[in-house]
Chains A and B, each alone.
Chain A
Amino acid sequence: MTNLEKYKYDVVVIGAGGAGLRAAVEARESGLSVAIICKSLFGKAHTVMAEGGAAASMGNVNSGDNWMVHFRDTMRGGKFLNHYRMAELHAKESPDRIWELEVWGALFDRTKEGKISQRNFGGHEYPRLAHVGDRTGLELIRTMQQRIVALQQQDARDHGNAESHMKVFSELTVTEVIKENGKVAGVYGYWRESGSEVLFEAKSVIIATGGVGKTFKITSNSWEGTGDGHALALKAGANLVDMEFLQFHPTGMVWPPSVRGILVTESVRGEGGILTNNVGERFMFKYIPEVFKNIYADNEAEADRWYLDQDNNRRPPELLPRDEVARAINSEVKAGRGSEHGGVFLDVSKRLSAEVIKKRLPSMWHQFYELAGVDITKEAMEVGPTCHYVMGGVEVEPDTAAAIGVPGLFAAGEVAGGMHGSNRLGGNSLSDLLVFGRRAGMGASEYAKKNSENPVSDAALKAAAARIEAPFSRTGGENAYSLHAELQEITHNLVGIIRTGSELQEAIEKIAAIRARSANIAVAGDRKFNPGFHLAFDLDNMLLVAESTAKSAILREESRGGHTRDDFPGMNNKWRQVNHISSFDGDKVSVRAQALLPIPKELFDLFDIHELEKYMTPEEITKGGSN
């Protein structure tokens, strides 16, 4: 391996989305050397697709807002399956993370007083989302990208080389997190451009690879969302928690077919968009669940008044948490009340003027006009559920983002689990990646400072290299593209928005069969920028994710958040006490139940006891939280 390209860093960050960049900034600012590795070009991460905003209880629009209200909303949205400590840290720290972006040059939309404007979103009691039109994710990415450039410029002044202490390695795929002596020692991967291999020795590694959407057929995710970090962590010996919970965003585009799944921001509903079926019925009033009846309007008149007077009216049911809206749309379509192309109608043209729509929802206008030939200032959009976000992910220590079970490994952002429980509120993702990206950067830096170098052995190198070479040494084997398409059919049909035990069993068997066949994938062409070769590795990750999801889903015999069982339709308070932990033995994923940590008394007491009774068992209520 004498010719192998090798680097040595204190901290390696895998992923250059919001969480990865925030982590990298933190690690560099703590004085360490940092490598940022990303599959795409720098600045292209899927975070740019986040439209609505970042939730933070700054109280700029409604001074009644504070971290406790945000915490309550987050726990409610997650149906109380959230890791309470993550939800607490997130609610407390997100305002500071937003303000810090301004110090780095971000330009959010403003209130009349000149503060950061905040908009309404599903499940949030007050207007809470800091935003820039409907391109908030792009603003976050660009701000942190430019912050990294600023730090590199500082290194150029201090050390004569912009890349002396922090370097971005773009279009590089990581295939393995290498451990030595039970601790993280580095990562191994290949340049997508040339196919040549690279070793990064590192004291700590932060996984910030985002989501898993490409495991599914209809998704809002880009090609990068292939569960790489979930799989890397599993293979390194970390656990995944609650992988059965996937968020199907209620509003993806449904027509034309080539854009099916592309996100239609929740801001459309936040700005007053209403959902109707093919008989013109505003159907969401029929789908308000018992637990939300006191805060959502049950009639159109009150729902409409809410846009003008939020203190004296209940919210429109279009703004229920995403899982509720997605299920409602699914039911309408199944009942034959869908649109021509299998969605429902979302209309904002009747509430806002064309000028206001173009100003507040510019990229939505653009997207529908250019891709579907629909002018949303005049007509309704056709929308339907699309796989958007995975609530499950790497099991971490909330305060440090350290992956449980693997010293030196950290995870933040969508790839980490626990924060959002069974369902994420819109807007909580951008704030999550800032809060926990920073914490992962801190955690990884602290670990790197305490631990000495942990060299990678030749044996580990050889094994990693052999794995990359394997698909080229086979001829006439399976085609990665067709296997991927088959996997997407299985997940879509059998592990999708509505699930049953027998179908999940079928899915588990079929996924295993594809996995067996994937060991035979052969790749045409050479290593140079070869997408067939790239997909072979991505597919391996997606197969592990799908297996973990199906095996977790079959165990959870209830419906909660992003997991709906046709054979167990209700929420069962006993299941709220259970997390599902996936682990990997090198051959298959196994899933076990683990008791959820009880909520401490001071957080328990933030809720009305009658609300908690809807989610908790009588014993838990009597106990009144842990001490």
Chain B
Amino acid sequence: MARKLKLRIWRGDSTNGALQDVVVDANEGEVVLDVIHRVQATQMGDLAVRWNCKAGKCGSCSMEINGKPRLACMTQVSAYGDDETITVTPLRAFPVIKDLVTDVSFNYRKAMEIPSYSHPANLKPGEARMEQIDVERSQEFRKCIECFLCQDTCHVIRDHEENKKSFAGPRFFIRIAELDMHPLDTLKNRKKTAQEEHGLGMCNITKCCTEVCPEHIRITDNAIIPMKERVVDEKYDPVRWLGSKIRKREGIV
């Protein structure tokens, strides 16, 4: 049942590093994180890897597997051919700390820059009434597990360190969209600030973020494009801001 798997792991730190080849047993049904753990327990006791829930719910074990941003806990070894070498490398858009672990503090700094939810002053706890259909739009974005794969894959920052200062990235565009579409949020102009302060305009909707999202959030279609469109609309028609609060915008492709 067990097979010998060829694994190539990037090992190193911020100063230097290299790919190292190992051969490790892989059993039926195992995911890449399982075999990395086996390498850790049997061959490289100090191999650094972040992980937590091992069920695709916490978004910790983000890495690049054969060059694609993925969660190691949700990537089946059987998806790769018997003779294929699986190469695991750290997220490229963020500085390496050690081996497969990167410094993702960029994302926490960006989170701090997004204005928080603002509850209606006159609405007491327990008094909120919302339609299911209205909360579902924001709920889609609140499924985000903050794995930051979308941030990693986004070419605006992946290849352009200099853009990081002015670009919040897909994860935070859906955060802004979530608040913008929140039926109760009272802060206005979220789309405008997304455009002017968080770099929404730099996104040229290549949908790379949507493709890598393990939660299948339609980042581009349901968050980025509607915000981009309305930034333009609102200059002419402020009434549409109200409309955006009331009903779900259906299937923009």
Q: Which residues of A contact B (CB under 8 A)?
A: 40-44, 46, 48-49, 58, 95-96, 99-100, 102-105, 107-110, 113-115, 117, 132-133, 135, 138-139, 142, 146-147, 149-150, 152-153, 156, 162, 193, 222-224, 255-259, 262-263, 363, 366-367, 370-372, 479, 481, 523-526, 528-533
Which chain A residues lie closer than 8 Å to B52 at the CB level?
Answer: 40, 44, 46, 222-224
Bound-state Cα–Cα, A103 to B116, Å: 12
Chain B residue total in the interface (Cβ 8 A):
58
Is A49 in contact with B53, judged by CB distance below 8 angstroms? yes
Asked, given contacts A44-B59, A107-B142, whether A531 binds B49 with beta carbons under 8 Å apart, the answer is: yes
Which chain B residues lie closer than 8 Å to A48 at the CB level?
Answer: 53, 57-58, 145
Which chain A residues lie closer than 8 Å to B60 at the CB level?
Answer: 40-41, 44
Bound-state Cα–Cα, A496 to B185, Å: 48
Q: Which residues of B contact A (CB under 8 A)?
A: 13, 27-31, 34, 40-41, 45-60, 74, 76, 97-99, 101, 104, 108, 111-112, 115-117, 119, 123, 125-126, 128-132, 135, 138-139, 142-146, 179, 182, 185
Which chain B residues lie closer than 8 Å to A103 at the CB level?
Answer: 119, 123, 125
Asked, given contacts A100-B125, A258-B27, whether A49 binds B55 with beta carbons under 8 Å apart, the answer is: yes
Is A110 in contact with B132, judged by CB distance below 8 angstroms? yes
Asked, given contacts A481-B41, A529-B99, A531-B48, whether A109 binds B56 with beta carbons under 8 Å apart, the answer is: no
Which chain A residues lie closer than 8 Å to B76 at the CB level?
Answer: 370-371
Is B46 in contact with A525, judged by CB distance below 8 angstroms? yes
User: Interface majority SS on B: helix, strand, loop or mixed?
Assistant: loop
Query: Known contacts A135-B57, A529-B46; can you find 16 more A-B pairs with CB under 8 A?
Result: A40-B52, A44-B59, A104-B119, A107-B135, A114-B130, A142-B144, A150-B116, A156-B112, A222-B52, A257-B29, A370-B76, A371-B74, A526-B46, A528-B13, A531-B46, A533-B46
Q: Chain B's nearest CB lies how many Å from the CB of A376?
A: 15
Q: Which of A150, A193, A258, A533 makes the CB contact (< 8 A) with B97? A: A193
Closest to A370 in B: B74
Which chain B residues lie closer than 8 Å to A104 at the CB level?
Answer: 117, 119
Which chain A residues lie closer than 8 Å to B101 at the CB level?
Answer: 193, 529
Bound-state Cα–Cα, A46 to B112, Å: 23
Which chain A residues lie closer than 8 Å to B108 at the CB level?
Answer: 42
Closest to B126 in A: A99
Residue among B30, B50, B52 with the highest chain A CB neighbour number at 10 A = B52
Q: Chain B's nearest CB lies how many Å from the CB of A480?
A: 8
Q: Chain B's nearest CB lies how many Å from the CB of A261?
A: 9
Which chain B residues lie closer than 8 Å to A132 at the CB level?
Answer: 139, 142
Which chain A residues lie closer than 8 Å to B112 at the CB level?
Answer: 149, 152-153, 156, 162
Asked, given contacts A41-B104, A44-B52, A530-B48, whether A107 binds B138 with beta carbons under 8 Å apart, the answer is: yes
Closest to B132 in A: A110
Q: Chain A's nearest CB lies how many Å from the CB of B50?
A: 7
Q: Chain A's nearest CB lies how many Å from the CB of B42?
A: 8
Bound-state Cα–Cα, A115 to B179, Å: 19
Which chain A residues lie closer than 8 Å to B116 at the CB level?
Answer: 105, 146-147, 149-150, 153
